Structure formats: C-alpha cells, structure tokens
Amino acid sequence: MVSKMLVLKFPKMAVQKPVVCNLARDFDLTFNILNATIFPRKEGQMVLQLFGTKANFDRGVEYLKDQGILVQSTREEIARNESRCVQCGWCTAVCPTGALYIKRPELEVVFDEEACSVCKLCVRTCPYRAMELVPAEDYPLA
C-alpha cells in the first residue's frame, strides 16, 4: 500500500475535468484533499494525499500526467522532535486539519502525520521548535 502527498498543478484546460473522481473510480485510489485553489477557466493547484496499491498509484499518476496535470511530490514534511516537545499544545490551536490534537484524559499532544497538510503553521507556532520541516521521502512518480 502506498500513501503519498502530491502537489497537482492544473493548467486552464484541465480544471474542468473530474480527475480526482476518476482516480477513485477508475484506479481504486482513496484520496484526501488537503488544500486546493482551483477556479473555472484558470490555473489551479491542489495538495492531495493519495492511497492505494503501488500499481494503481503508478497508473493513477500516469493518468494525471496524461490529462496535462503537473504532478509533484511534496518537498517537505513535518516531523515532531519528541525530545523538544513539552506537550504544551500550542500547535494544536493552529492546526487546520486536526493532525495535531490533545489526547484526553492524558493531556498528551498527538501528531497524526497522515492528516498533516504541511501548512507549516505548527512550525512557526511552536515555542520549543519541536515541530520541524524535514525533506520529504522521495517516491519515484511514474
């Protein structure tokens, strides 16, 4: 099973196509749209987390490219430096996707990396610099 965050850049001619729906229907891929700015008849961009078998993932990425969409891997990911984290919870207040939340009753900060949209708000907010940008794991895009 492959799970990868991708940045999709749509040219004007591709913004009207139901490509994400087709990824699910035709390639048996599951997706999570983490961020998108797409307007009709204009260029657009989407950050998409894609899940599926390696073969279906590769076929789906090839389909996107055939539709004229530029497919890029995210260049950075967020990681938590456990030795710096003091469980203050500041990061949870700014996380738009809920990737950072407080587990109760333990009052422990949990980081769900799969839900992270790499918006970098937690990196800027953390007073202890426990949230860090790290190079993304490279996955060769088909």
Q: Give me the domain span that covers residue 103.
A: 77-135
Q: pLDDT by residue for the chain (142 residues), tens digit each?
A: 777 888 899 998 888 889 999 999 999 999 988 888 888 788 889 988 888 999 999 999 999 999 999 998 877 889 999 999 999 999 999 998 899 999 999 999 999 987 887 888 999 999 999 999 888 765 455 4
Q: What does the alpha-carbon distance between residue 116 and residue 140 come to, in Å, rounded to a whole number? A: 21
Shared domain for 52 and 100, answered yes or no, is no
C-alpha of 124 from chain center: 18
Shared domain for 117 and 88, answered yes or no, is yes
In a domain, 141, yes or no: no
pLDDT of the residue at 142: 45
Q: Which residues contact 10 (CB under 8 A, 6 or more apart)?
A: 38, 43, 44, 45, 46, 69
